[in-house]
Chain A
């Protein structure tokens, strides 16, 4: 059931928040085999639900998400709860503050039932790089759910919660949403505060919702959005809701299909499903046109160079002195080295080394500067394209969910699964993944990229495609 339907029933007194939360906790227990949660908070969740029921009985309005159970990715801080980013390095670390995005949801009556599994520090596209073990796809348990917000997508797709928070640096909300057949939104850079989010690539990181309906994604994003003095990159302009901007008549709308996406080696079945979904917009009057976006092919190298460099810098704070795990060593330097070597998993270590290389004098051949130059060119190209069309449509991922272990020994092949999601991450444009259909029983996602700060536009198209 969608979050807004649940909240409506709770606010009207037709359902108790305690029953809703108890149901979510029961479903989490039933789906334990998915590995979607790193921890559940049954006592705190039920206590909070009881307080919401009491407030409603007393005539108060607990907010737009009253009694809605939600799950939160394990890299988003929730005061008093563990914050590990699925890393051994942060085992035992407890958050001392709550992320702004999450506290805004709690202020509207949302109830956190637990924290979700993920690829360590957000680095991965399969949900397999976790100190807690892999997450499984709820639709086909021997397939990956995507990553890095693997547990959040699995929890929503399994019907445990209607809303889960993820974070998206290069597709970590949209790709698992696509693999699990749910909705995932990466808002414009700056739309949602990053305060309380464990940093990976700070110039790209965004918190985003994973939901069952596009309308839920719109409401949750609007609640979380807005200026935050704790994050100077947040936008001050309010986010519009989709129904305020556009009705179902699409006769004046143009949707662009990048030529490069149809020639990039994606699974032909995926391309057919995506094209059929775009045709639904055409049947309502939208004009579908091909657009040329040559720099899309540079997205993967640019993304991995920039984020590896930012990660190498951001993760240097994890040295065993201030957070989590600390190795026993003979001196301070060895404490740093042993802590980091024991604490970080193989993929995180690989990216730190790549990032160190990309920034190293004498080795890098100015890779970081080159990647930034491509990023600037890509932003101009997408902006220009979006002056001629209202949104750009493409697959969210080149394939449906692959099997567990299928790509884990080939990092480059894994990186290439982010080919369509990394461009809007690099440029800061909003991007939405909606279920477009399925291929051999596995969900396929359609990604819509919108004009900067125009989440409402792509959400409106998403509602037309999914009907909710």
Chain B
């Protein structure tokens, strides 16, 4: 299980953390050491993950948050008033 600086950068992006560039190398080494120790867990359950149904998973890639389609594109009109969505059932 090798953790390199690129892995740390990617995990930091997923975790919404900014790791200073001058600490990345040291952190990668530290995480590698810890995760190698933790990887020893395979010894205790026959080296196979717990049996279970196969689960379809999407690729774990960070994407920018988008509110498009959720909010009106312009919610303050030209007069400076807020646009309020219509209330269902109201006349």
**Residue ranges of A at the interface with B (Cβ–Cβ < 8 Å):** 294-295, 297-298, 300-302, 304-305, 312, 316, 319, 332-333, 336-338, 340-341, 344, 349-350, 352-354, 356-357, 360-363, 365-367, 369-374, 376-377, 411-412, 415
For the complex, is B70 an interface residue (Cβ under 8 Å from A)?
no
What are 10 pairs between A and B in contact, CB < 8 Å? A305-B41, A341-B19, A360-B60, A361-B59, A365-B1, A367-B41, A369-B50, A370-B49, A371-B41, A374-B45
Chain A min CB distance to B27 (Å) = 7
| Beta-carbon nearest neighbor of A312 in chain B | B15
Q: Flag if A377 contacts B18 (CB, 8 Å).
A: no
Q: How far is the CA of A266 from the CA of B55 in the complex (A)?
A: 41
Prevailing SS type, chain A contact patch:
helix
5 tightest A-B CB contacts, nearest first: A373-B50, A366-B49, A298-B44, A361-B60, A301-B38
Q: Which residues of B contact A360 (CB under 8 A)?
A: 11, 14, 60
User: Footprint of A on B, CB under 8 Å?
Assistant: 1, 3, 7-8, 11-12, 14-19, 27, 30-31, 33-35, 37-45, 49-50, 52, 57-60, 64-65
Tell me which of A295, A332, A352, A366 contacts B15 (CB under 8 A).
Answer: A352
A337 touches B18 (CB 8 A): yes
On whether the beta carbons of A370 and B16 are closer than 8 Å, the reply is no
Write out the residue numbers on chain A whose beta carbons fall within 8 Å of the beta carbon of B1: 365
Shortest distance in angstroms between A286's beta carbon and chain B's nearest beta carbon? 31
Select A363's contact among B7, B17, B19, beta carbons within 8 Å: B7
Contact B19 A362 (CB under 8 A): no
What residues on A are CB-neighbors of B59 within 8 Å?
361-362
Min Cβ gap B82→A in Å is: 20
* Residue contact B60 to A374, C-beta cutoff 8 Å: no
Minimum CB distance partner of A335 in chain B = B16
What residues on A are CB-neighbors of B7 within 8 Å? 357, 363
Interchain nearest-CB distance for A291 vs B (Å): 17
Which of these, A344, A362, A373, contacts B45 with CB under 8 Å? Answer: A373
Flag if A353 contacts B12 (CB, 8 Å). yes
Complex-state Cα separation, A332 to B42, whole angstroms = 40
Q: Which residues of B contact A298 (CB under 8 A)?
A: 40-41, 43-44
Contact B39 A365 (CB under 8 A): yes
Partner of A338, one of B18, B30, B33, B49: B18
Bound: A298/B47 CA distance, A? 13
- Give Cα distance in the complex from A363 to B35, angstroms: 11
| Residues B11 and A357 in contact, CB atoms below 8 Å apart | yes
Given contacts A370-B42, A371-B41, contact A354 B31 (CB under 8 A): yes
Bound complex: CA of A357 vs CA of B14, how far in Å? Answer: 9
B-chain residues with CB within 8 Å of residue A363 when the two chains form the complex? 7
What separation, in Å, do the CA atoms of A288 and B91 have in the docked complex? 80
**Which of B38, B49, B58 has most chain A Cβ within 10 Å?**
B38
Are B38 and A367 in touch, CB under 8 angstroms? Answer: yes
Which residues of B are found within 8 Å of A369, using beta-carbon distances? 49-50, 52
State which of B34, B49, B57 has its C-beta within 8 Å of the C-beta of A412: B34
Q: How far is the CB of A386 from chain B (nearest CB, A)?
A: 20
Judge whether A353 and B27 touch: CB under 8 Å: yes
A365 to B59, CA, bound (A): 14
Chain B residues whose C-beta falls within 8 Å of the C-beta of A319 in the assembled complex? 16
Chain A residues, CB < 8 A from B42 = 370
Please tell me if the beta carbons of B17 and A412 are within 8 angstroms of each other in the complex: no
CB <8 Å contact, B45 and A377 = yes
Query: Nearest Cβ in chain A — how far from B17, in angstroms?
Result: 5
Given contacts A370-B49, A373-B45, list 20 more A-B pairs with CB under 8 A: A300-B37, A301-B40, A332-B65, A333-B16, A333-B65, A344-B17, A349-B19, A350-B27, A352-B17, A353-B11, A354-B34, A357-B7, A357-B31, A357-B35, A363-B7, A370-B41, A370-B45, A371-B41, A412-B37, A415-B34
| Assembly CA distance A372 to B48 (angstroms) | 12
Cβ–Cβ < 8 Å partners of A352 in chain B: 15, 17
Which of chain B's residues has its CB closest to A376's CB?
Answer: B50
**B81 CB to nearest A CB, Å:** 24
Q: A363-B7, A412-B34 are in contact. Are A341 and B41 (CB under 8 A)?
A: no
Residues of A within 8 A of B39 (CB): 301, 365, 367
Asked, given contacts A365-B39, A372-B50, whether A340 binds B45 with beta carbons under 8 Å apart, the answer is no
Greatest chain B CB density within 10 A among A340, A373, A415 is at: A373
Bound Cα distance from A422 to B44, whole angstroms:
16
Report the separation of the CA atoms of residues A11 and B7 in the bound assembly, to the nearest whole angstrom.
61
- How far, in whole Å, are A363 and B17 apart by their CA atoms in the complex? 18
Give the complex CA separation of A31 and B16 in angstroms.
39
On whether the beta carbons of B44 and A297 are closer than 8 Å, the reply is yes
Report the bound CA distance from A305 to B50 in whole Å: 15
In angstroms, Cα B1 to Cα A109, docked, is 54
Instruction: Please report the C-alpha to C-alpha distance between residue A291 and residue B38 in the assembled complex, in whole angstroms.
Output: 25
Q: Which residues of chain B have C-beta atoms less than 8 A from A304's C-beta?
A: 34, 38
Q: Which residue of B lies closest to A365 (CB)?
A: B1
| B34 cross-chain contacts in A, Cβ below 8 A | 304, 354, 411-412, 415
A350 touches B30 (CB 8 A): yes
Residues of A within 8 A of B33 (CB): 412
Residues in A whose Cβ lies below 8 Å from that of B38: 301, 304-305, 367, 371
